[in-house]
Amino acid sequence: MRVPGVAGQARLLKHALACCLLTAATVTAGGCSDAAEERTLVVLGPWTDGEERPFVAALRRIGERTGRSYVYKGTRSLRETLLAQLQADAPPDLAILSSPGDLAEYARTGDAYPLPEKVAGAAVPPWAPAVTVDNERGEARTHAYWAPVRVDLKSLVWSRGASAGEDPDWCLGMGSGATSGWPGTDWVEDLLLQRQGPAQYESWATGKSSWQSTRPAWEEWGRLLAANKGDDGDDGKALGAEGLRSSFELLGNGRYGLLNRSDCTHEHQGSFIRRHYGDDVLPEPTARFLGARNAGAHVYEVSGDLAAVFKPSVAAWDLLGRLTSREAREDWAKAAKPAERPYFPGGTFGSVPLSRSTRAVQDLLDGAGQICLDASDAMPPTLRDAFYRAVLEFLGAPRSSALLTRLLKQLEAERQLQLREDAFLLDDLCDNAPGQSP
């Protein structure tokens, strides 16, 4: 897709004239110096509260090898923090985001920089699709702008031991700070992917199909909620209300993980959730819970933590390359707890044996046919946020046809607005899984 990017090109041109750093490998002794060689490089990312420790350990090892100084700054308000820094003209050297939709917008405005040839190979599909941006002369140029440093598998249902074969009594929690609602969008996306397959999923997620095409997925989710044990025919309102007042992971009093409550047996959640459980909690594909009517066999949603350069320098590009290297991944894996071992596009790394849950996820990823980026993560930010809000409202009356009609009409109006503004920046959200032949 051709993306008008004139507004951000002044900044891009300024940096290009200052130091020709977009092709860092060509910098010579007679050219400009790289000030980042003598200062601390800042990496902004999403991990806090101890979750960042393995990454910081890997970053420290990179510093030992390069002699450069790096600092990691983590925040749960990543989008707001990065926007404030950009507005103050004080961006981090690198930022690690989970939203390719946000990153594509930063590419259009010129805040994120295209990967030079030296590190372009790190842009592994489908996590790092190319973006086409008009340069300062109005010429369309297609580049990769980010690379995955860690990935997660979605389209999973988790259960504990004896509960695995039972009819699901679903756990549900929508609370997640400013982004509350995404566990529900994951449900709608996954049902659409499993029932209609990757082509229809991608068409909808990239703005080419109307929101009316998603109605069957919403309705099926509503039926699943209504079928939950203990709802006594209330059309899913009890579970919906529980989901609205619950965190997706926090139980209180230092306890985490919805399956550690006593009132539910199955949780639809991505692979990162294993950090809250022992190896008696294991995943199965969502497709196994949907019966025979399944168009997306061996198809999974995926998400990723994606690194982009916001302050270009030789040192910044070198760091991005190193963060995606086998050496850094082995350091990261070695520093992580067994249930927090990261996944990478090329598989797990490190010599420490995998936990059962980590191995189970890796086996599912290895056996996947196609993988598709999380749809809401790839949408224009305003449409993504509207999707979150719609899920929250839907849970108040998940079997109300009139409510669903109104919500889909509102989302379709937002899609039409974003189409007029040429805000759908990504086209290719699905690809063969790592190790699969084209």
Kindly report, residue by residue over 378-423, the tens digit of the pLDDT. 999 999 999 999 999 999 999 999 999 999 999 999 999 999 999 9
Maximum average pLDDT range among 132-141, 189-198, 339-348: 189-198
Q: How far apart are CA 376 and CA 185, in angstroms?
A: 7
H helices within 35-170, ranges in order? 53-66, 78-87, 100-109
What pLDDT, on a 0 to 100 scale, did the predictor assign at position 293?
61
299-303 mean pLDDT: 97
Banded model confidence at residue 210, pLDDT cuts 50, 70, 90: very high
Please work out, in degrees rounded to the nearest 5, the angle formed at the alpha carbon of residue 13 by the alpha carbons of 133 and 136: 45
Task: Quote the percentage of the chain above a pLDDT of 70.
Answer: 87
Question: Which pLDDT score is estimated for 228?
Answer: 80
CB proximity list for 87: less than 8 A, separation 6 or greater: none
Answering whether pTM is above 0.85, one says yes
Question: Who wins on pLDDT, 390 or 132?
Answer: 390
Candidate CATH numbers 1.20.58, 3.40.190, 3.90.320, 3.10.350; the one for domain 153-301+369-432: 3.40.190
Q: Which residue has the higher pLDDT, 292 or 249?
A: 249
Tell me, what's the pLDDT at 38? 77
pLDDT of residue 385: 97
DSSP calls for 255-266: EE-GGGSSS--E
Euclidean distance between CA atoms 308 and 310, whole angstroms:
6
- Pick the most confident of 5-19, 153-167, 195-209: 195-209
Task: Specify whether the CB–CB gap between 47 and 340 falls below 8 A.
Answer: no
Give me the chain's average pLDDT, please: 88
What residues have CB less than 8 Å from 259, skipping those under 6 apart? 158, 159, 160, 171, 265, 267, 277, 281
Does residue 352 or residue 133 have the better pLDDT?
133
Of the candidate ranges 16-25, 170-179, 323-332, 420-429, the one whose mean pLDDT is the lowest: 16-25
- Spell out where 106-146 has E strands: 131-134, 140-143
Q: Where in the chain is the domain with CATH 3.40.190.10?
A: 2-151+304-363
Residues paired with 143 in a beta bridge: 131
What's the CATH superfamily of 2-151+304-363? Periplasmic binding protein-like II (3.40.190.10)
State residue 231's pLDDT score.
Answer: 57
What single letter denotes the amino acid at residue 120? A
Q: Is the separation of the CB atoms in 131 and 108 below 8 Å?
A: yes
